[in-house]
Amino acid sequence: MRKTVFLAMTIGSLSAQEPPLSYPDSKPGRTVETLHGVEVPDPYRWLEDLNSDQTADWVKAQSSLTDAYLEAIPGRKALEAHLTKLWNVERFGVPFFEGGRYFFSKNDGLQNQSVLYSTKSLDTAPAILLDPNTLSSDGTVALSSYEVSPDGRYLAYSTSASGSDWVEWRIREISSGKDLPDHLKWSKFSGASWAKNSKGFYYGRFPAPKDGEEMMAQNIHKKIFFHELGKPQNEDRLVYERPEHPKQGLYAWVTEDGKYLLIQVSQGTDTKNGLFYKDLSQPDSKVIELLPDFDASYDFITNLGSKFIIRTDLDAPKQKVIAIDLNTPGRKQWKTIIPESRETLRSVSHVGGLFIANYLKDARTEIRRFKTDGTSLPPVKLPGLGTASGFGGKPDQNETFYYFTSFTSPGAVYRYDIASNTSTLFKAPKTQFDPDDYESRQIFATSKDGTRVPMFIVHKKGLKLDGSNPTLLYAYGGFNISLRPSYSPATIAWMDLGGIYVMANLRGGGEYGEEWHEAGMKLKKQNVFDDFIACAEHLVSKKYTSSKKLSIAGGSNGGLLVGACMVQRPELYGACLPAVGVMDMLRFHKFTIGWAWQAEYGKPDDPTDFKNLLKYSPYHNLKSANYPATMVITSDHDDRVVPSHSYKFAAALQSAQNGPAPTLIRIESKAGHGAGTPTSKRIEAIVDKYSFLAKSLGFEIKL
């Protein structure tokens, strides 16, 4: 085959394989761009056209190859049966109370989508309010979000199809279970917030994209509208827009007392945001730009009359809580209610007359309580070391609910009595395994620059540290997102196969506050890859595993992580699973919401950022080498990280592979970036992943 220079990559023929795999011809093109004085070939640019016959044929051929390879791996039926058994347990969401009723979700076990229930009393049998499984024959229409009107009469709910970020809003009458004629489209990254009188709600939407561009066109010019019940969408009232800033995100909600409309303004995925408000008690009031400087993160918690209570990282990287009086809003008049702590403050709710604060201590949850003046109260005693979430509600309620989970504890829902500071179990799944068969610990690796990086390690008891254990190392490392211990049937199944599961908390995440996040973004992104590589090396050096038994996995930004690390250190891993990853760091900003990630990654149009992005972009740094076994994973309806990222990377990787290991791509149909994926598809995907790892890491599927 003719060889073409592709930056650091030489595209050449594959070595002989045992047994040989014949990859589809990806037909490299001759596209070359000059960016900041650098010639950048892009031979697989044609795979960005998701509507072309050529791309469709390539997808079909790649899928046929991958399906045949996976189906030939023994033990898949036993693995599927085991996963199905683990998954088939009743699961509950966290209840909330609104308009005289409790609402919560429940999944009987193997339902593709969880069902929304309501009841007037927790002591009586609940009734089905909305069953998403009836909205499609294959479970690919998911309930995205919902909001109950203050008077308890209506449910505004949004659904997404095939995993798309686009949602459509409808209104259901709760008493009859019937939908009103209202139907709203082209909404994305938005909830619904009801007016206090329950006559309508506020929501965000984008202009309708052109036909055929729904999955690729940039999402810009978002606006806030008010929808009045019973009226068509074209009569929705425009409430707020920023036409001079088309790439700013707008998110609106009504305060608990109904007096104010809050508008949070974001600049891409930057944690620094603006916070504006509109006085709804005044008919023609203007939007007031309370916090317009974008100098820190400002998260509105509640208002106590004219005092806005806000969580912020201004001069407090691990967050604090402040009060701003609208009557004297100058910064000199701001008051600190809850000062910054050694632990990272992740959220605060105002319920039962108290502030309930969720902290992270080495990525584990601590729940602390405060009076509204900041006086500290005894903390909430949790069921164990793990992750707690929930604690929502209203200031005058005497109860709230929370969800608690860990790696080996399926999510249980607890009722929390605010006055007595006690928790009682509300609902818990009946496990199909014995949690005492497993153990977990937290250890630390040392990164290239000396930074201590925490890892959670989970495995069956009796593990021998002899380097022979198949290991799955997972991480994310970006966007201020914190990875915390949580239960998954997939993790239990992996350990039942004899594997070790490891979750690393890398820089770029939010586990240790904004400084930890900033240490892994933009020009410092290489720190994240160094952290991950250090974790892998630590696992090998301590004989938890060996390179040939070590696999790495991550999705979205974590897919970029896996792609970059496998390109930088291919000899360190036995198998790689980059999923829905950002693989082309020079063009990510050109599709859907990708422009927003420039706040995290940097701007390809900036010469300095371009140079940095080019250094680690997985697609551009492949070269003729012996790469580990790799299965790239994506979905044909992913309109967040468009599948062309994975398509181009897989095509280039297949051509760059000079070793015997397989380089495949798994393309899920009628699925998106991950949210709303039906249970059936989730089980199928895990069977494929673990089958691939079993063959690649050299162990049998025995259950």
- What are the catalytic residues? 556, 673
What span, in angstroms and rounded, lies between the C-alpha atoms of 219 and 216?
9
Contact 24, 47 (CB under 8 A): no
Instruction: Give, for 267, the enclosing helix (H) or strand (E).
Output: strand 260-267
> Beta partners for 553?
474, 577
d(CA 380, CA 176): 39
SS (H, E, C) 612-629: HHHHHCHHHHCCCECCCE
| Paired tokens of 586 | 């020079």
Complete DSSP assignment for 530-572: HHHHHHHHHHHHTTS--GGGEEEEEETHHHHHHHHHHHH-GGG
Strand partners, 205: 223
Instruction: Show the DSSP H helices in 418-556 as ranges.
Output: 489-496, 514-518, 526-541
d(CA 383, CA 428): 12
CA 150-146-428 angle, 5° bins = 100
Question: What does the angle CA 483 – CA 584 – CA 522 come to, to the nearest 5 degrees?
Answer: 55
CA distance 104 to 502: 32
**Measured distance CA(439)–CA(672) in Å, rounded:** 34
- Within 13 Å of residue 592, how many CA atoms lie on the same side as its CB? 21
Give the residue from 444, 412, 445, 416 showing the smallest Cα distance to 430: 412
Contact between residue 666 and residue 66 where contact means Cβ atoms under 8 Å apart: yes
Q: How far is CA 244 from the centre of its chain?
A: 30
Q: Which amino acid type is present at position 281?
A: S
Nearest CA-CA partner of 530 in 598, 605, 477, 462: 477
Chain-centroid distance, C-alpha 207: 25
Integer Cα distance of 587 and 539 in angstroms? 34
DSSP structural state of residue 42 = -
Contact criterion met (CB below 8 Å) for 155 and 170: no
202 is written with which tokens? 């506020």
Angle (deg, nearest 10), helices 679-697 and 53-71? 60
CB 377 within 8 A of CB 352: no
State how far the Cα of 325 lies from the Cα of 117, in Å rounded to an integer: 39
